[in-house]
A and B are shown apart, each in its own frame.
Chain A
């Protein structure tokens, strides 16, 4: 297969008793032909579009007839394209619209916020004028980042990155920050029942010693006057995970059949796009539902949030499944371990675990207890009585 010519090419069909002679005459006049084939009584060949009119005298001379079967190539496509004026105008307008729309910020997202709710950061950003639909060239990202750092005490650093129409607010928040402004003095108190293992006091008076058992809410490091307590207290905390697995179970397995219902909504109004309530009979007896919402800000200068809501109904088939005692124990143990681990905070280490699995009442019951070394201190504003006592002491 020969590559198509940029200027295009025409497939012609030559019919008549002296087809070969017409081809020979064309060649002697310098008209190139290629991919010549015999199709019953006719000859077919490709020819340059510019040479087609030169064939006319040869057709008369030989008594053959020539007609066009096919035109192909970029040149033809291009010509046809520009003949459709409204399409060209539409394309140009579309391009202009894309360029224009890309001058706005449409998506704002927060990355790296672990202690602070991203919604709080977005709220402050909104107050500073950063909303979906903002004219991106008006935004001073460096200035805005410093403002956000100043206004949100829980973060130490804010970086703003613009990629296309997406603005990412990258945040590094203060480790252990519990949400109190820096001018509110705090104590450090126990978050849960624990045995104190390590204490590093940076400011304030230690209220407990290593090895002491404390209950949730007990003061660990006491702040003094307007000085906040500061430091790290690590303790041993017991975490328990329990799970129970019945030996005779009904297992639900997706069959793969599903229907999706779609709604579009804005400003509290919702319009069904899918089958909605039109379906007389719901197709599945057993099913599970998953809701998926996508939002987009549309409009300018006051964008409206449009929500596209999809409800996925997935058919389930239910069958009875009997587990052996061993299987049920294994599943229960895995689930109990997972539940125990899910309660452990970050930067904690599991020192020891104890497991017990028993079979009773036609079920396997597993319990996993772990001793975890973790941060147990949380900040709490100094109570008024504390201030009173200190005032009396002075």
Chain B
């Protein structure tokens, strides 16, 4: 029912369902809105949590350009972006 409401009223799902909005500019900048903070930050990967999973950025020279409660901006050479919803992780 909850997931049907945005379709019925033609509303943005990311707002109503608290889903992340990920914007990638080329391979060197990405912004994640509706995030739940940094889960893991390693030399070649950066994992950012969201309400129902996590998004993993892989690459080199990854830097968190800025972080606020609304948005995390990642910079560096982004080679892969992996979405890991919680269900998948549980399997």
Contacts and interface: CB of A to CB of B under 8 A. Distances in A.
B41 A30 contact: no
A27 to B, nearest CB: 5
What 3 pairs across the A-B complex have the smallest Cβ distances? Answer: A24-B37, A36-B64, A20-B38
B89 interface: no
26 contacts: A19-B41, A20-B37, A20-B38, A23-B37, A23-B38, A23-B67, A24-B36, A24-B37, A24-B38, A27-B37, A28-B69, A32-B66, A33-B64, A33-B66, A33-B67, A34-B65, A34-B66, A34-B67, A35-B64, A35-B66, A36-B65, A37-B63, A37-B64, A38-B42, A38-B43, A38-B62
Nearest to B69: A27
A43 interface: yes
Interface string B34-54: 001111111100000000000
A87 B42 CA distance: 46
Interface in A30-65: 30, 32-38, 43, 45
B59 to A, nearest CB: 12
Contacts of B38: 20, 23-24
A23 B64 CA distance: 11
Interface in A11-30: 19-20, 23-24, 27-28, 30
A266 B39 CA distance: 76
A19 B68 CA distance: 16
Contact of A36 (B39, B42, B67): B67
Given A20-B41, A45-B64, 11 more contacts: A20-B37, A20-B38, A23-B38, A28-B37, A28-B69, A35-B64, A35-B65, A36-B41, A36-B64, A37-B63, A37-B64
Contacts of B62: 38
Contacts of A20: 37-41
Residue with the greatest number of chain A CB neighbours at <10 A, chosen from B36, B43, B65, B66: B66
Nearest to A46: B66
A30 to B, nearest CB: 7
Query: Which of A34, A36, A45 has most B Cβ within 10 Å?
Result: A36
B40 to A, nearest CB: 6
A5 to B, nearest CB: 13
Interface residues of B, number: 16
B58 to A, nearest CB: 13
A28 B70 CA distance: 10
Interface of B: 36-43, 62-69
A36 B73 CA distance: 10
Contacts of A45: 64
Contacts of A37: 63-64
B19 to A, nearest CB: 19
A64 to B, nearest CB: 13
B28 to A, nearest CB: 15
Contacts of B36: 24
Contact of B68 (A27, A35, A38, A43): A27
- With most chain A CB atoms within 10 A of its CB, the pick from B36, B39, B42, B67 is B67
Contacts of B68: 27, 32
B78 to A, nearest CB: 15
Contacts of A23: 37-38, 67
Contacts of A38: 41-43, 62
A37 B65 CA distance: 9
Contacts of A32: 66-68
Contacts of B41: 19-20, 36, 38, 43
Interface string A165-199: 00000000000000000000000000000000000
A37 B42 CA distance: 9
A27 B63 contact: no
